[in-house]
Structure 1
Amino acid sequence: MHRRDILISGGALAAGAAVATRPAAADHRPATLRTRDGVQLFHRDWGEGPAVVFAASWALTSEMWAYQVAHLSERGFRCIAYDRRGHGRSDVPGRGYDMDTLADDLGAVIEGLGLRDVALVGHSMGGAEVIRYLGRHGSGRVRKVALVAAAAPYLLQTPDNPYGAPQAYFDARLADWARDFPKWVADNRAPFFTPQTSPAMSDWLVDQLVSTPVPVAMATFRAMLARDLRPDLARVDRPTLILHGDKDASAPLEITGRRLAAGIPGARLKVYPGAPHGLFVTHMEQVNADLEAFLRA
């Protein structure tokens, strides 16, 4: 390398260092927030406008919402998607995997960013966390609610809940995970998607799933099973849109979507014919359009 090239390179590095050490802009948004018990939660914050907070599916990360965030942030919404504790780039503590704490974590995101009149969007377990947040903290900061293939209100079959599945069914699933979680994921991936879903798209989500620590996956699943959210439904007192597929094998429509629509005052249920649990990617264009229309109304 010539001396002139060295000088130019050195000048570029110095300029870069100067930029890097400049004070952060006043409107800089931190990538992490701290919960009440000291856990750091990573979040993605895109766009400007009315705020929308996305709660992720069981064992997936904030990245799952990439296509909803891309669509809505380009159309005048501020989109915030966070990694649940134990997932993605958030801390992995050995505690706090119960629905009350997870609902409080959602609250930490909302309060930590100073959000008001926020719309909450939750998929699968994320939908259950949204409902528990409203039941536990109320809707004072919330404008609207969208539940996408939500795994709620109560998945366990009990004498007063014939819609759930028996405990033995879930025990067998947990035992499979304890033996070989990646094999279970591989064996059960097809029903999450449609035959038209590209292998690359399904691999992208499966990679997120198997990157979740097995103890975390099991603990959060047990938390979802244990919590009966039926008493919380009456506290969901904001306009609510429920999007659910009639081919959902993970959260069957009759057990979840229809029960939510019956229990949440004024909720509107839209059923997607042929849609599986992963409708946020398999029916992406329709989900994006329905969310946008709902958020704008």
Structure 2
Amino acid sequence: MCITFVYTNPDAKGPNQYQTIVINNRDEKYDRPTSQAAWEDGILAGRDEKNPNDRGGTWMGVDKFGRVAILLSILEPPSSENPEAPSRGKIVNEYLESGESAINFAEKMSMHAHTFNGFHLVLLDRSSLNGNRKIDLVSYMNRHSENVPEIHEPGCYGFGNSPRDKPFHKVNYGLERFETTLAKHLENNDRVSKPALINDLLDILKCPKRHFPDAQMQSQSEQPSELLRHLSSCFVQYPDDHRYGTRSHSILLIDGDDQATFVEASMVSVPENPEDALWDTKYYEFVLEPRPSENRPCPAKNGHSPAKVDWF
């Protein structure tokens, strides 16, 4: 199912202010082949490896310019899903490879979005002109809406598996914690501890607290309540025999100096009891590159360097 929280502040300056913060949980079958986050063709992302002949779909990716795409599925009864529908996982790559603005891509996507099973797409696009930064946050879903992309002003937002105006309880809960966490860490711009911020953001993604019953969730599913309740937490874990739940946590921070930090903690081995799963963490830091249309100088140093994480 997945869940995402996003913060944007185009006026951020320096290393202790953040222009973009994104946190995401990916929920998936434990046994679905998946590769960990890595740079490939200019995109940093984990990837679906189920079909070796058609690999590379992803749930969240970022490019070297700081453009971001996140794909969430919409909770629907199995009877409404089309087994012949095209893969939704390629949408993220298509946006990041296109070079188009977020709103243009979303508008074009809306013209043929009906061919896909239900999805909620979140796009971030950034640009700079004469030193003035612009961040566009756009969301679009192909179910339960007027089929029109939505543009969001700077601030904090939560995105889940239902219409934006009918969020699941866990999205409201997670958004409140997200806002509280950012207020705690960002209110004093001179003393922001990146490791502490990441740990607190990770705590939101790891939260097992259930928020059930949830009338909106129940209205979108045919699952019995005793199973559906397992979807009502930010961190999802179904009973052992279902082999489904949260498989990765992703955190992206971009500061006011265009320094990006990407952290992905993911399950790499899931035994019979998922509570005994082996987790591994990938950590990347890189300086954003200016897009060709921007008129600021290219950073003197740029790298996609993984580093050992000792925060978790």
Which of 1 and 2 has greater Rg?
1
Query: Which has the larger share of helix?
Result: 1
Q: Same fold (TM over 0.5)?
A: no
Q: Which structure has the higher relative contact order (CA within 8 Å, separation 6+)? A: 2
| TM-score, normalised relative to structure 1 | 0.25
Structure number with higher strand proportion:
2
* TM-score of the aligned structures, taking structure 2 as reference length: 0.24
